[in-house]
């Protein structure tokens, strides 16, 4: 085999390798990039996180039930409570103010 056969043969071989090899190398690089982006968690850790999520959801449900009961109780108490008496009498003196005789002094 002389150089006149070897040079075109190696040129065609290079073109075939580039046309086939470049897409393969690109696909392999994408697969490596995708796998590196999402770290894999061990199964026991995944199961533990699932149990924690369920426990948190059940606690949230119970808190919602408690708050709804609190709202209901508050509503009932506000409906049953009599109207509050006015703070001041018509004369402007509070109801619980101590009565003083006219002319007495507050000197202590």
The model's pLDDT over 44-53, given as tens digits with 9 standing for 90+, comes to 999 999 999 9
Average pLDDT over the chain reads 82
The model's pLDDT over 80-94, given as tens digits with 9 standing for 90+, comes to 866 655 555 555 555
How many angstroms separate the Cα of 17 from the Cα of each of 1, 6, 23? 22, 16, 10
């Amino acid at each position: 085999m002389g150089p006149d056969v070897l040079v075109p043969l190696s040129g065609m071989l290079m073109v075939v390798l580039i046309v086939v090899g470049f897409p393969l190398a690109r696909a392999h690089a994408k697969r490596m990039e995708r796998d590196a982006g999402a770290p894999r968690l061990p199964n026991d850790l995944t199961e533990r996180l699932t149990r924690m999520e369920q426990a948190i959801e059940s606690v949230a449900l119970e808190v919602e039930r408690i708050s709804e009961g609190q709202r209901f109780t508050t509503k009932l108490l506000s409906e049953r409570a009599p109207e509050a008496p006015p703070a001041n009498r018509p004369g402007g003196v509070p109801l619980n103010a101590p009565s003083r005789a006219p002319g007495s002094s507050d000197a202590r």
